[in-house]
Structure 1
């Protein structure tokens, strides 16, 4: 459901709930998400309900206007493991100002996510990959289940998939895969999606290998078939064309959800 800039679609009960959460300190971003309102809609509803306006954070409060007590809370929360994003939502300050406060107090900043995933146990990384590949969970759900951030999950998946791609197409296994691809591609009844599903690679890898191996490409109709291919179609094609043993052994790989 899209967000709306006019809060008139909310009934009185929802508006009262909005007012209660606003008074409890819920961030404007969370209020917008929960009540399906744009930033403009949130401001309009705040005015409509006669609630006190919060100071615009993006207008930028200077650090000199923030009390030392608030500085201490920010520094303490960061040292206790809170992320910069969590501090931004909690204190409603721009990221640049949070970094400035931490630097002024001599706080050593933690490394960013792409390097911190090295500190995550291999078992956790493997579990994240399996949840994505086998259970088709989103990065957000995987993060909730494993106690990671969404950015860490995406970095793990990206690294694992890139490592897998780097080794999958080389050596004897790579040559066997290419030979199998050439065989499947020459069968006009198999869609690109079905071939990708069978070989446990992405559709883009199939088309890239077809060009690399100089296999005569299919006509325009097959190109449209690639663009419109659905996972269900690929599954049906694979089940119809493959033996039960081949079908059961073929892994499932969906790389399109990894940012």
Structure 2
């Protein structure tokens, strides 16, 4: 007696294939219209008037973050536009009192991003200042973060 295992009774398999075939559209069914999508990766381009406005607003004290939100572009794009037009960039950073606040808030359990949003700077600025103060930080998984320059 030869044992064929699961392939000895093909009735169930044939029935399953027939059910699948019934779910397929008929050959005569017209193809559905394709969905029109925007091309990915195309950066939003600002017109010359918008660029002039962006530069004027920056010189009036607006931050690159505020301008990015205002014009619907990344803050790095704002910086690139300002650099291309020879605009002197401001370096905000954090004052010593703000760094004290950042240390306090981080020790209370705030994330780097939340502390950065609260103080109006990027989370990497907060991370740099905490490291300068010798504060050990955790990564997004709650593990001790590698110090700058450490290889893991």
Q: RCO (CA 8 Å, sep 6+): is it higher in 1 or 2?
A: 1
**Structure with more of its chain in helix, by fraction:** 1
TM-score, normalisation: structure 2:
0.49
